[in-house]
Amino acid sequence: MRRTGGFVLTGLVVSLLLAAVVSHFASGAPDGLDTVTLRGCELDAAHEITGGECLARTADEHPVGGPFADYATTGIENGFLSTAVAGALGVLTVFVTGYVLFRSIRRRDTGTDR
């Protein structure tokens, strides 16, 4: 069975670059769901609702918020850096969470553990 270490490491580096650097060039326009839920409302430059009636009117404030709310890192003023840190830490968090989850699900009786 061919090893996967090099492939996975390469993939992680690509993911980090996409989330931390390429994300800077992503469109800031509302996505498909937001477009539909915001239809009928007037928005300001920051996409905050200023008037009108739309589905998003009934949305609650996010109950958790979190350290990287809206893909910005709390405490970092610089917009590029703020998103870069949030994106990179998000990639690593998802990878580690997934790795631990899938490792714990995996059958152990057949394993030839390294």
Partner 1 sequence: MDTVAMHIADGIIDGPTSAVFAAVALALLAACVVKARDDLDERLVPMAGLTAAFIFAVQMLNFAVLPGVSGHLLGGAMAAALVGPWVGALCVSTVLIVQALMFADGGITALGLSIVNMALIGALVTYGILRLLLKLLPRTRSGVTVAVFVTSVVSVVAGAAGFVLQFAIGGVADFGPGLGAIATGMLGIHLLIGVGEGVITATTVLAVATARPDLVHALRGHTLPHRPAVAGGAE
46 lines the binding site for partner 1 (CB under 8 A) = yes
Q: How far is the CB of 87 from partner 1 (least distance, A)?
A: 6
34 vs 51, which CB is nearer to partner 1? 34
Distance CA 103, CA 113 (A): 11
> How does DSSP assign 80-112, residue by residue?
HHHHHHHHHHHHHHHHHHHHHHHHHHS-STT--
Q: How far is the CB of 73 from partner 1 (least distance, A)?
A: 10
Single-letter amino acid code for the residue at 47: H
Site for partner 1 in 22-41 (CB under 8 A): 22-37, 39-40
Site for partner 1 in 57-76 (CB under 8 A): 57-60, 62-71
50 lines the binding site for partner 1 (CB under 8 A) = no
CA–CA–CA angle 16, 86, 50 (5° rounding): 130
Q: How far is the CB of 1 from partner 1 (least distance, A)?
A: 6
| Pair 79, 89: CB distance under 8 Å | no
